[in-house]
Homo-oligomer: A and B are copies of this chain.
Amino acid sequence: MIPFWKEHQEISAFLEQVQVEMKTCLYIDNNTISEALQNFSVQGGKMIRPALFFLFAGMGARQSQIDNLVKVASSFELLHLATLIHDDIIDDSPTRRNFPTLQNLLGKDTAVYAGDFVYTVYFQLLAETMNGTQLLSANAKSMKKILMGELIQKDQSFVVNVTVYNYLRAISGKTAELLSMSCCQGAYFGGFDETEQKIAKRIGRNIGLAFQIYDDILNFSVELNNEKPILTDVQQGIFTLPLLLARDKAPEKILPYMQQAENLSLNDLYRLADLVKSTGGLHGAMNIAERLTNKALSDIQQLPEGQNKKILAKATKKLLKRAY
């Protein structure tokens, strides 16, 4: 049972089927690797992508349709999983969501191939569920955008004059694309018309952008005792929205920290976090995230009436109004 969705039994039941499907697909004739991958696939996440997909595609669908939807939803979660496995290698993270990362369990080398293997499982599920539909190319393009987002973010790491536009472009690919795809393709499978599919796409995109911005705000929120790591982005040269807004307001205060990003002590980082707050960087980022959230909520209002719509609005608020 995934805590985030516990109030919604139909969604919870669907997500449990997605977990079973993912575990089946990740079976490989090697116990250590298979178990590590299977556990990693179901550990701790909110499964936002399959849930959003289902909210558009499947509430109230028959079981015969559900089986197919489970596969599509699993493919999206697996694509996400593959990027996480490689992200953890690049960040050298020992843990994710309080569990050991695959690199930590299996070593870097096996983790690189394990991530590749998960991409192949994603592809296999698409070949099973979307062969002959226009969605196949859409998925290929989305996957390309996601990886371009990762490449761009990596390429602009430690670049002190990276712009807000660069940042938004990177997170559009890295995070928003897959959420956008989950909503849009959910709408397709749910029989929505093309205009509604476009609205769904925009909803996913805005939820994705807001979600990533809140995540980046959390990385600067030292007062909160939260489960996410704090102040790690700057050290890795990933300059996110709160910092960029602070830099644009008070470059003389912020730039020296950015220029020394790799060598900042924990005390430096705390001082920088204070500065990002006092110069209005956090506040500015929150404003932008709220505007994106409100856009998503107003788009949700345009959808046909129904139970799904209510849950979608509620979940969006819950997801994007975490306490700061």
Partner-B contacts on A (CB < 8 A):
28-30, 32-33, 82-83, 86, 89-90, 108-110, 112-117, 119-121, 123-124, 126-128, 131-133, 136-137, 139-141, 143-144, 146-148, 150-152, 154-155
Would you list 19 pairs from A and B whose C-beta atoms are within 8 A, ordered by A residue?
A: A30-B155, A33-B151, A83-B116, A110-B151, A112-B112, A113-B154, A114-B151, A116-B116, A120-B140, A120-B146, A121-B144, A124-B141, A127-B137, A127-B139, A128-B137, A131-B133, A131-B137, A132-B132, A136-B136
Contacts of A113 on B, CB cut-off 8 Å? 86, 90, 147, 150-151, 154
CB contact under 8 A between A148 and B28, given known A123-B140, A127-B139: yes
CB contact under 8 A between A151 and B28, given known A109-B90, A144-B121: yes
- The listed residue (B89, B124, B139, B141) touching A140 by CB distance below 8 A is B124
In angstroms, Cα B125 to Cα A144, docked, is: 11
CB contact under 8 A between A30 and B151, given known A86-B113, A132-B132, A139-B127: yes
Contacts of A116 on B, CB cut-off 8 Å? 82-83, 86, 115-116, 119, 147, 150
Is the pair B112, A33 in contact by a Cβ cutoff of 8 Å? no
CB contact under 8 A between A86 and B110, given known A33-B155, A124-B137: no
- The listed residue (B32, B86, B155) touching A155 by CB distance below 8 A is B32
A131 — nearest CB in chain B belongs to which residue?
A: B136
Is the pair B86, A152 in contact by a Cβ cutoff of 8 Å? no
Contacts of A152 on B, CB cut-off 8 Å? 29-30
- The listed residue (B108, B127, B150, B154) touching A136 by CB distance below 8 A is B127
A141 — nearest CB in chain B belongs to which residue?
A: B124
Chain copies in complex: 2
Contacts of A117 on B, CB cut-off 8 Å? 144, 147-148, 151
Known: A30-B151, A115-B116. 5 other contacts (CB 8 A): A33-B151, A112-B112, A117-B147, A117-B148, A124-B143
A137, A139, A151, most chain B CB atoms within 10 A: A151
Is the pair A120, B144 in contact by a Cβ cutoff of 8 Å? yes
In angstroms, Cα B146 to Cα A258, docked, is: 42
A103 to chain B, nearest CB (A): 11
Contacts of A151 on B, CB cut-off 8 Å? 28, 30, 33, 110, 113-114, 117
In angstroms, Cα B154 to Cα A132, docked, is: 36
In angstroms, Cα B127 to Cα A136, docked, is: 6
In angstroms, Cα B126 to Cα A126, docked, is: 12
A134 — nearest CB in chain B belongs to which residue?
A: B131
Contacts of A127 on B, CB cut-off 8 Å? 136-137, 139-140
A122 to chain B, nearest CB (A): 9
A262 to chain B, nearest CB (A): 14
In angstroms, Cα B209 to Cα A122, docked, is: 28
A139 to chain B, nearest CB (A): 7
A108, A123, A131, most chain B CB atoms within 10 A: A123
A136 to chain B, nearest CB (A): 4
